[in-house]
């Protein structure tokens, strides 16, 4: 039987969120949080619209998922995010004790890997899922902005 709920399946939903951010003139990053193959939170970057550096896609999804679950720990959850999380978001994910993070494109400059941010020891990480699609959207966004 074909597996429906793959990492690509949920990353496509995160990419749809990133496209919504793109259309709003926001740096195009999207995220969803999944538990038992159900999407319980979806969000996209809103730092410009909200005038708030904390309004990254991941931060919003962490808050929304905790609200849905009625508890602040995301121990059975997976975050799908189109871009590697930054220090702030990785720090929030550390506190959440999330089970798994799946991200798309690397952020060599500001991503948590280059910056050395620690995740929770119980958190598994998968990277590079639909990375090209996520990176293409970023490149297109910054090319438009330079025009």
Considering only residues 64 through 83, tell me which ones interact with a second copy, judged by CB under 8 A: 66-67, 70-73
| Cα–Cα distance, 93 to 123 (Å, whole number) | 9
For residue 130, give both structure tokens. Answer: 């639909």
Among residues 141, 76, 142, 138, the alpha carbon closest in space to that of 111 is found at 138
123: exposed, middle or buried (Cβ count in 10 Å: 0-12, 13-18, 19+): buried
Among 39, 113, 115, 135, binds a second copy (CB under 8 A): 115
Q: Is 77 annotated as belonging to a binding site? A: no
| Total of chain residues touching a second copy, rule CB under 8 A | 29
Known active-site residue 133: no
**Is 56 one of the annotated binding-site residues?**
yes
Q: Bridge partners of 33?
A: 41, 79
- Decide if residue 121 touches a second copy (CB under 8 A): no
User: Coil, strand or helix: which one is 78?
Assistant: strand
Among residues 3, 36, 38, 51, the one that binds a second copy under rule CB under 8 A: 51
Which residues would be at the binding site for a second copy (CB under 8 A)? 47-48, 51-54, 59, 62-63, 66-67, 70-73, 86-92, 94-96, 115-118
Catalytic (active-site) positions: 58
List, as residue ranges, the binding site for Zn(2+): 56, 86, 89
């Amino acid at each position: 039987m074909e597996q429906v709920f793959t990492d690509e399946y949920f990353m496509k939903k995160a990419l749809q969120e990133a496209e919504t951010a793109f259309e709003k003139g926001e740096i195009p990053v999207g995220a969803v949080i999944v538990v038992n193959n159900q999407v319980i939170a979806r969000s996209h970057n809103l730092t410009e619209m909200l005038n708030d550096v904390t309004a990254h896609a991941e931060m919003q999804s962490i808050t929304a998922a905790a609200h849905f679950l009625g508890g602040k720990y995301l121990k059975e959850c997976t975050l799908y995010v189109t871009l590697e999380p930054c220090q702030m978001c990785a720090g929030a994910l550390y506190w959440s004790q999330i089970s798994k993070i799946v991200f798309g494109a690397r952020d060599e400059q500001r991503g948590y890997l280059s910056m050395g941010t620690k995740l929770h020891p119980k958190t598994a990480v998968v990277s590079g899922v639909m990375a090209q699609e996520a990176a293409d959207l970023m490149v297109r966004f910054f090319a438009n902005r330079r025009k």
